[in-house]
Amino acid sequence: MSYEVIRVNPLEYKTEVLNLWTKNHPHLMDLLPKRFAWIYENNPYGPPTSWLLRDNKSNAFIGTTSVIPRNMWINGEKVIAGIAADMMVDKNHRTLGPALMLQRALVSTCEEGQYQFVYGFSPQAASTVQLRAGFTSMGRCIRVLKVLSTERFSNKQKNNLTARLGSGILDTCIKAADFILSAKDLWQAGNLSTEILDSFDYRFDQFWEKVPKQNRVVGEKTAAYLTWRYTISPYNSHKVFTIINQAKDMRGYLIFSIVDQAIHIYDICTPDKIDPLLSLFILYVKKNYPAHSICFMLFEYCSIIPSLTRHLFVKRPDDLTIVTYCKKGFPSLNHTSLSWHLYAGDKDIG
């Protein structure tokens, strides 16, 4: 078969892009137009760079992919980066060739200078193609889970009475461990207060200026970007947990949502150690929500993982791989020399 990759303005080809999305994700039919408006029409960094794949025999579009623009900070330098997203090929054309053509077109934007690097949170099928196109695998994603209550899990056991008795003992042990582990953090945070927000104001811009950027890989987090990423996201309703000192200066925040009695963390940011922020957040969740767990998806080499482990978050595998493609001459993104801060909120979904 003969194919042709065409670079397009996605706003001019909205109908064609949505048709391909709907063919490949019919169960998300109602969500997809909202996703298009969110990412393709309202992104504060501009619309994605997109391609369509045409089958020359039928003259029909049978595939697409995009790069979502995003400012990143790499070792103290702001760079124009992109998120590899929305790669799909119709099922009758899912051989290596068509998908590889799309990914090779995508990485060409780096060599042309449009992006200095592109990254993706990629499932196995996509990462296999991307590696053939020149991407580098940086490592896997993981999910970390902190159990707050074992009641939900015990209710699934056949011997429910015994399970509930055991659950009560386990929950008491979890509370005691949390108290011991958090005592020092909460004492050190004695001059901090907390506030829950539903939006992002000027304080987030002031705070972002204070966040260290040297020796880090971190996405830009201005008020405008955070508003777009979380406030108008069609996926979930997000809340912002903030800590504030006596001078009313923000000292850190954590963005989360609540789904089926589970707390999902999307982003966490502080110029200091994250332990006081985590301890205060865990205490807040226990007081205000009947949640059974807190979970967080992040890059396996993120520098905050030791703190999460200290707070009894347990690692669980995930099926996504972090891949990157850098413009020739761009400094190495080796995870051993830079502190990575790549979290669930840095994906293109949710």
pLDDT of 55 higher than 60: yes
3-state secondary structure 58-121: CCEEEEEEEEEEEEEEECCEEEEEEEEEEEEECHHHCCHHHHHHHHHHHHHHHHCCCCCEEEEE
Q: Which superfamily does CATH assign the domain made up of 3-114 to?
A: Gcn5-related N-acetyltransferase (GNAT) (3.40.630.30)
Tokens matching residue 39: 């990412």
H or E element in which residue 298 lies: strand 293-299
- pLDDT for residue 119 is more than 60: yes
List alpha helices for 112-242, DSSP H: 124-132, 151-154, 160-188, 202-210, 223-226
pLDDT in tens, 192-215: 889 999 999 999 999 999 999 999
For the record, the structure tokens of 300 come out as 């396996």
pLDDT above 90 for 190: no
* pLDDT tens string 286-305: 889 989 999 999 999 998 99
The CATH number of domain 143-318+332-346, selected from 3.30.56.10, 3.40.1180.10, 3.40.640.10, 3.40.630.30: 3.40.630.30
The per-residue pLDDT for 173 is: 60
Give the pLDDT mean for 84-98: 88
What pLDDT shows up at residue 180?
A: 57
Q: List the structure tokens of 173.
A: 């042990």
Give the mean pLDDT of 146-172.
Answer: 58
Residue 182 has pLDDT above 50, yes or no: yes
d(CA 212, CA 271): 6
On whether the CB atoms of residues 38 and 233 are closer than 8 A, the answer is yes
What band does 348 get if pLDDT is binned at 50, 70 and 90? confident
- Pair of tokens at residue 95: 């051989």
| Identical fold between 3-114 and 143-318+332-346 | yes
Domain ranges of the chain: 3-114, 143-318+332-346
Split at pLDDT 50, 70, 90, the class of 163 is very low
